[in-house]
């Protein structure tokens, strides 16, 4: 396809495994990465990088229901960290001045009784978790710029981990799966309520992009059978809502998800992102097996990019572009987000490689 498409047309055709002009693009960056790049010559911030990348996507909202919206109670602090209880009833120690995973210290929801008597009623009583006017404004801007517009939200497995913590959630999946199903179902109800409110307000996106990390570096955190029995039905509900409204469905999860990809296809997922390379995900192996059923979005290894070795980086980008483009269903993204180990010169090289090798004949 020789003519130039709009971003919306380009992503739509990619999602449908149809011919299009070039690989669609998006990416995410650490705050520290942008700061490094500014010191190395970047004129501007994240928005300027997206312009140079020629990003094709427009984010409209973020739905992450929590039982106690706005809660951020500081219990103690020092020069480097603070301990807070947040809107999920989660107690964490977090960094004040830099990015990083917080230390998890405890959860208010430490039993099914607390869930039933306090957390679930509070969650069901909350107002919308999206700002309708903001989403309308972002939608208008996205349409003006002819971007592929999407609603974003968080799914039920991530909700269980936020509300009760990993350890209790894993125990409950084995010993009290009805509790896990209930948390996931109530959370999903709230997300779909948010999306319905936006739809009724005239925000009609092209896609739904759902986030939830359900794997680590060599397997999913629960068995495929346990996932199928507890969380999968709500994943299917989210995908069904998207399809009923004429939208495509993107699912984000870190980790090695190879064992559940057939379940994703059964649930109706259209696209997987970010395909974490350091967790054994490699589209050069996945595309020949799944490329006719799933669009692939990401997988450019940031450990390779962080080496700032031009030869290694060119091989990484060029070989994975070739694998993805063979399916007509691939979009560029880092395999998670771009860390501050990647220099500004390296990222400019990645954009140059996309320009050189990411165009269809």
pLDDT at 42: 97
pLDDT per position as a tens digit, 275-310: 999 999 999 999 999 999 999 999 999 999 999 999
pLDDT of residue 97: 87
What is the residue range of 285's domain?
Answer: 7-65+127-357
Same domain, 87 and 204: no
Q: Is residue 295 part of a domain?
A: yes
45 and 115 fall within a common domain: no
End-to-end CA gap in the chain: 7
Per-residue confidence at 223, pLDDT binned at 50, 70, 90? very high
**188-199 CB burial, b ≥16 within 10 A, e <16:** bbbbbbbbebbe
pLDDT of the residue at 148 = 98
pLDDT at 361: 82
Confidence of residue 1 (pLDDT cuts 50, 70, 90): low
- Does the residue 282 lie in any domain? yes
Q: Are residues 79 and 16 in the same domain?
A: no
Strands of 103-107's sheet in order across: 72-77, 81-86, 90-95, 103-107
Do 213 and 237 lie in a common domain? yes
Whether the CB-CB separation of 130 and 198 falls below 8 Å is answered with yes
Domain boundary among 125, 152, 168: 125
Q: What is the CATH number of the domain that holds 153?
A: 3.20.20.210
Q: Across-strand partners of 273?
A: 252
Q: What's the pLDDT band for 198 if we cut at 50, 70, 90?
A: very high
Clarify whether residues 324 and 255 are in a common domain.
Answer: yes
Domain termination site, one of 125, 145, 168? 125
Q: What tokens were used for 345?
A: 């010169």
Give yes or no for a contact between 63 and 153, defined as CB atoms under 8 angstroms apart: yes
- What's the CA gap between 333 and 320, in Å, rounded? 11
Give the separation between CA 257 and CA 275, rounded to whole angstroms: 9
Cα(189)–Cα(249) distance, integer angstroms: 17
The reply to whether 292 and 251 lie within a common domain is yes
Strand, coil or helix: what is 73? strand
The verdict on 83 and 61 lying in the same domain is: no
Number of domains in the chain: 2
Q: Provide the whole-model pTM.
A: 0.96
In a domain, 2, yes or no: no
How many residues does this entry show for the chain? 361
Residue 143 lies inside a defined structural domain of this protein: yes
* 100-124 pLDDT, tens digit each: 889 999 999 999 999 999 999 999 9
Same domain, 231 and 332: yes
**Token pair for residue 229?**
């029995």
Both 353 and 316 in one domain: the answer is: yes
pLDDT at 99 over 90: no
Is 254 inside a domain boundary? Answer: yes
| Residues 281 and 211 reside in one and the same domain | yes
CA distances from 7 to 143, 168, 265, 274, 337 (A): 10, 43, 25, 19, 21
Domain for residue 259, yes or no? yes
Point out the domain boundary residue: 109, 125, 141. 125
Count of beta carbons in the 10 Å neighbourhood of residue 311:
8
Within a domain: 347: yes
One domain, residues 72 and 13 = no
CB contact at 8 A, 201 and 133 = no
Q: Would residue 116 count as lying in a domain?
A: yes
Assess whether 84 and 152 both reside in one domain.
no
pLDDT (tens digit, 9 = 90+) per residue, 143-179?
999 999 999 999 999 999 999 999 999 999 999 999 9
pLDDT band at residue 3 under the 50/70/90 scheme: low
pLDDT in tens, 298-356: 999 999 999 999 999 999 999 999 999 999 999 999 999 999 999 999 999 999 999 99
pLDDT tens profile 237-282: 999 999 999 999 999 999 999 999 999 999 999 999 999 999 999 9
The predicted structure's pLDDT at residue 98: 85
**What are the pLDDT digits (tens) for 34-80?**
999 999 999 999 999 999 999 999 999 999 999 999 999 999 999 99
């Amino acid at each position: 396809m020789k003519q130039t498409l709009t971003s919306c047309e380009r992503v739509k055709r990619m999602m449908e495994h149809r011919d299009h002009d070039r690989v669609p693009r998006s990416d995410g960056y650490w705050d520290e990465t942008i700061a490094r790049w500014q010191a190395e010559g970047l004129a501007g911030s994240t928005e300027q990088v997206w312009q140079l990348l020629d990003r094709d996507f427009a984010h409209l909202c973020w739905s992450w229901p929590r039982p106690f919206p706005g809660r951020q109670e500081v219990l103690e602090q020092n020069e480097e960290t603070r301990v807070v209880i947040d809107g999920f009833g989660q107690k964490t120690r977090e960094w004040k001045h830099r990015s990083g995973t917080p230390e998890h210290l405890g959860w208010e929801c430490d039993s099914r009784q607390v869930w039933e008597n306090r957390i679930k009623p509070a969650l069901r009583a909350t107002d919308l978790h999206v700002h309708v006017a903001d989403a309308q404004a972002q939608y208008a801007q996205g349409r003006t710029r002819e971007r592929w517009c999407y609603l974003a939200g968080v799914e039920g497995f991530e909700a269980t981990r936020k509300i009760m913590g990993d350890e209790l959630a894993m125990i409950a999946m084995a010993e009290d799966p009805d509790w896990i199903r209930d948390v996931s179902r109530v959370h999903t109800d709230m997300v779909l309520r948010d999306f319905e409110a936006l739809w009724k307000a005239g925000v009609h996106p092209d896609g739904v992009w759902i986030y939830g990390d359900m794997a680590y570096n060599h397997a999913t955190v629960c068995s495929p059978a346990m996932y199928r029995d507890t969380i999968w039905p709500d994943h299917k509900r989210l995908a069904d809502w998207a399809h009923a409204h004429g939208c495509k469905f993107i699912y984000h999860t870190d980790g090695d998800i190879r064992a559940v990809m057939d379940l994703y296809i059964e649930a109706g997922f259209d696209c997987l992102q970010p395909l974490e390379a350091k967790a054994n995900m490699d589209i050069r192996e996945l595309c020949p097996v799944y490329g006719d059923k799933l669009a692939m979005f990401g997988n450019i290894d940031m450990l390779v990019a962080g080496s700032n070795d031009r030869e290694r980086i060119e091989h990484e980008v060029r070989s994975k572009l070739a694998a993805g483009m063979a399916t007509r269903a691939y979009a560029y993204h880092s395999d998670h987000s771009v860390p501050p180990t990647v220099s500004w010169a390296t990222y400019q090289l990645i954009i140059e490689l996309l320009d050189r090798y990411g165009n269809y004949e």
